[in-house]
Structure 1
Amino acid sequence: MEGLIMTSYSTSEDYCKNIFDAICDKDGFITKNDILDALDESGIVTDDPRISKLITKLNTFSRIDKIDFETFLDFSSDSISLIEKSINKGFIIPDFKDFKKEIIEIYNETQKNESGQNANYIPQLARVDPDLFAVAFCSVDGQMITLGDYLHPYCVQSTAKAVTYCIATELNGEEKVHKHVGREPSGITFNAIALNKHNLPHNPMINSGAIMTCSLIKPEWNLANRFEYITQIWKDLAGGESTGFDNATYHSEKETADRNYALAHYMKEVGAFPEGANIHSALDFYFQTCSIQVNAKKMAKIMSSIANGGICPLTNKKVFSPTTVRNCLSMMYSCGMYDFSGEYAFSVGLPAKSGVSGALVIAIPNVGGFAIFSPRLDTNHNSARGVEFSKRLVDKFSFHNYDHIDCSNKINPVENRMIAESNLTFELIWAASTGDISEVKRVVVLGADINKGDYDERTALHLAAAEGHLNVVQYLINKGADINAKDKRNKKPIDDAKTNGNIDVVKFLEKISDQ
């Protein structure tokens, strides 16, 4: 789209007219593809529930039908803000097309990794095609990317632990939950028969901790009602999409659960469970949560709700409180990746949770959620491709918790690059005109284009030469400034220096020209 929409308007109709004028042709008409293309380029997909009515209306038009403003006004009212943000690059990832291109490149590079092997302790997991690979992303504004086998169903396994912890905390409060489960990394394997110094599970992201949090969710209800209750919450997180259930995996989980039974009995023996807890019911409920079935697209939506402070971006429904989500993200960050949690926090620096099905989820607070599925596991029981994708992601983008955005050579995808580049150009030209060499150097380090001009096509070198700032001129030339750049008046920097009688600058530029 050419430029951004002006945001000054007096009525809602003026607002809509402003948007319409930004996309209509010279005769004052649009086609349905003008709207669909704008939405698609910004990452809003046609099955987004927020535009369901709009899509229904647009489907009544052919590809070439001309749509006037009155018709547009009639069918777009429910979705007008999304259309405006799509055109105006107003979503959290403004340059979504470029972001998606980079994600596709990371996906393709990661797909070459064929290391690891499927989990084999559950037959159903061992039989999954090891070559499956899915990546999906959903931003906190509902922008979607789906790659590979993103519709292939898989069991969430231990990635369920993050949601289970949130549900338990919402029902019981932080204090009660952590009266029965700790919040420190264990430093041992995820299924180790070990408790902390208070005889509690170390954290809710390992088996013992998840069994404990399951025991805190509606313990007075029967299993069927408890499971129905949590699946409704999963549905709310996914924007109204239902999850599935893998019954075969559930039964296999139960049949191979000797260690989990041992953990539960150990916790019962030392009094870790709340009074009156039924450990067999808690275990069955835990196996059910591990056997919930999703696909990567659905799971990305769930993680975007977590990244969005517990509010689903597709429905605006509040599912969890911000405090609950903050606590969950803290647990995921420090304890979410099995024995690799510390290394992952160091190298990737994002809240994440893995599962032995090959599932891996990442929450980027206030940005969005990734869901990755690839069944081959590394020696730490994490998806081999999932870990590699994570590392490549933070190598490319400034997503690591401790990245310094301004001084990093990584891409900051939440910044509008067009506006950012314009701001840098303005700052550079202004600093050059005032002779502030320190500011000039700072802006150049941030990536300002030295040869980009202002509205008169005057570059920083033009301004520095015109004002007689020899040290700035020398620095800019050293950094690759074009000595022959011409402004709208066809003037070069040396011409400005001559006009203003800046002899030292003229001599320097003539010397450079003669070389």
Structure 2
Amino acid sequence: MSKGITREILEDWLKNVRPYARDGKVADYIPALAKQNPDDLAVAICDLDGDSVSAGNEVCCFTLQSISKVLSLALALMDHGEEYVFERVGMEPSGDPFHSIYRLETHNPSRPLNPMINAGALAVTNMIHGITPDEKVGRLLSFIHEMTDDRSITYNTEVASSEYESAHLNRSLCYYMKQHGVIKGSVEETLDAYTKQCAIEVNIRQLARIGAIFANEGKDLDSGRRILPMHLARICKTFMVTCGMYDASGEFAIKVGIPAKSGVSGAVVGTVNGYGGIAVYGPALDGKGNSVVGLKLLELLSNRYDLSIF
């Protein structure tokens, strides 16, 4: 394993950060996520040879939530190319909460500032090829199956339904963008695909392998087969650096310094070129929607093993 990190070392690191779970709270604005146990913690590292080491509750499955934004962006870029996608979604950090509508109202021509905020992610999901929501989600699942080498991965129907029924703000964002021509077709079908996308369920090792694929410039870890074009993998990692941790991305870049994306399930995935992927799960979130345990553990690991890209 890269840098000699063993299961025992990871267990020790996890033990050290476990008390931080008391400093956050699980997401409750999505009813199904409110059921998560804040003590279900896990961490995994997958190197570029495909070898992985993990600790904590390794069998626990959790939903990708906003981590899926990186994957849907990659798929939309493969479907349409950069020019098409970035005519409709910008490339700039927002500095606002992930669900904010403010920039849509003040930014001409009502284009989302980046694909990592909800408005931008909804626009990206709307672009993915597929006649029906299930076709779009099916193609995204196939992409994830390739990355993880596990075709059993699917979405959690309870979480997807809960998110869809409570998606009043996201529905507003969609209608606003539809009014200005950013989103095409049915708003409800876009929301259906987006909430299923966010509800895709993985375990900690699968998530670490996804991070490692990006660290490997889009190539499969075992065969070397290209899953994602190198320049698109680099675009996705750049967005992870600038926008991946919501409006805490700047602080995270200073303290941790690796491309990473978080989700309100409490999952965080990081990717380090030449090293591999790191995944952390801890459902208790801080005020900006990031896992408190995940942030602390990634900071400790980055400082201890000098992982910062800066």
TM-score tier, shorter chain, comes to over 0.9
1:101 deviates by 5.2
Query: Residues 476-491 of structure 1 correspond to what in structure 2 (within 5 A)?
Result: none
Where does residue 115 of structure 2 map in the other structure?
204
The answer as to 2:74 corresponding to 1:163 is no
Give a deviation string over 1:192-230, Cα, whole Å, max 9, x none.
Answer: 1132343211110111111011011114x2222222211
The CA distance in 1 between the partners of 2:53 and 2:222, in whole Å, is: 14
Out of 288, 309, 325, the position equivalent to 2:233 is 325
Do 1:337 and 1:353's aligned partners in 2 also have CA atoms closer than 8 Å? Answer: yes
Do 1:180 and 1:212's aligned partners in 2 also have CA atoms closer than 8 Å? Answer: yes
The answer as to 2:18 corresponding to 1:107 is no
The answer as to 2:152 corresponding to 1:218 is no
Secondary structure of 1:245 counterpart: coil
Give a deviation string over 1:447-481, Cα, whole Å, max 9, x none.
Answer: xxxxxxxxxxxxxxxxxxxxxxxxxxxxxxxxxxx
1:339 deviates by 1.6
CA RMSD of aligned residues (A): 1.5
Do 2:155 and 2:200's aligned partners in 1 also have CA atoms closer than 8 Å? Answer: yes
The CA distance in 2 between the partners of 1:241 and 1:217, in whole Å, is: 20
The answer as to 2:190 corresponding to 1:292 is no
1:104 deviates by 3.7
Query: What code does the residue aligned with 2:149 have?
Result: G
Query: What code does the residue aligned with 1:392 have?
Result: L
Do 2:212 and 2:277's aligned partners in 1 also have CA atoms closer than 8 Å? Answer: yes
Where does residue 36 of structure 2 map in the other structure?
128
Query: Residues 77-96 of structure 1 correspond to what in structure 2 (within 5 A)?
Result: 93=2, 95-96=3-4
User: Normalization by structure 1: what TM-score?
Assistant: 0.58
Do 1:215 and 1:278's aligned partners in 2 also have CA atoms closer than 8 Å? Answer: no
Do 2:89 and 2:115's aligned partners in 1 also have CA atoms closer than 8 Å? Answer: yes
The CA distance in 1 between the partners of 2:242 and 2:29, in whole Å, is: 26
Query: What code does the residue aligned with 2:43 have?
Result: V
The CA distance in 2 between the partners of 1:327 and 1:272, in whole Å, is: 21
Query: What code does the residue aligned with 2:227 have?
Result: V
The answer as to 2:58 corresponding to 1:150 is yes
Query: What code does the residue aligned with 2:16 have?
Result: E
The CA distance in 1 between the partners of 2:12 and 2:59, in whole Å, is: 20
Aligned residues: 306
Do 1:241 and 1:298's aligned partners in 2 also have CA atoms closer than 8 Å? Answer: no
The CA distance in 1 between the partners of 2:133 and 2:303, in whole Å, is: 44
1:285 deviates by 0.8
Do 2:10 and 2:54's aligned partners in 1 also have CA atoms closer than 8 Å? Answer: no
Secondary structure of 1:112 counterpart: helix
Query: Residues 2-151 of structure 1 correspond to what in structure 2 (within 5 A)?
Result: 43=1, 93=2, 95-96=3-4, 98=5, 102-113=9-20, 114-151=22-59
The answer as to 2:211 corresponding to 1:342 is no
Cα 1:301–1:205 shift into 2, 3 Å: same
Query: What code does the residue aligned with 1:249 have?
Result: V
Cα 1:99–1:197 shift into 2, 3 Å: farther
1:108 deviates by 2.1
The CA distance in 1 between the partners of 2:273 and 2:7, in whole Å, is: 19
Query: What code does the residue aligned with 1:227 have?
Result: V
Q: Which runs of 5+ in 1 are unaligned?
A: 1-42, 44-92, 403-515
Where does residue 171 of structure 2 map in the other structure?
261
Query: What code does the residue aligned with 1:218 have?
Result: H
The answer as to 2:137 corresponding to 1:227 is yes
The CA distance in 1 between the partners of 2:60 and 2:152, in whole Å, is: 15
1:107 deviates by 2.0
Do 2:10 and 2:43's aligned partners in 1 also have CA atoms closer than 8 Å? Answer: no
